Amino acid sequence: MIAVYLAVKLMGMAHVFRFLIVSPAFIPVIASVGADRKIPRRQRPSSARAARNPTTRAD
């Protein structure tokens, strides 16, 4: 583990190595945020279609 850290630090990417350690803790947060953003995107096209075709709403 120490050897890997030294190798990464020599390449000047210690911040990337640190991000790889911290990122697993943020994966659930990123996934939840991504899910929240995808839901409105899926609903917008359907609402746009309904606005274009008022007959579908009447049915």
pLDDT at 1: 73
pLDDT at 4: 77
Among candidates 5, 34, 3, 7, which has minimal Cα distance to 21?
5
- The reply to whether 47 falls in a domain is no
CA–CA separation, 32 and 38 (whole Å):
10
To 10 degrees, what angle do helices 2-10 and 14-52 make? 80
pTM of the model: 0.22
- The reply to whether 28 falls in a domain is yes
- Residues 38-56 have a mean pLDDT of 57
Examine the pLDDT at 20 and tell me if it is beyond 60: yes
Domain that includes residue 29, residue range: 1-39
Radius of gyration of the chain (CA): 23
- The reply to whether 11 falls in a domain is yes
Angle subtended at Cα 36 by Cα 21 and Cα 59, rounded to the nearest 5 degrees: 160
Among candidates 38, 42, 41, which has minimal Cα distance to 30?
38
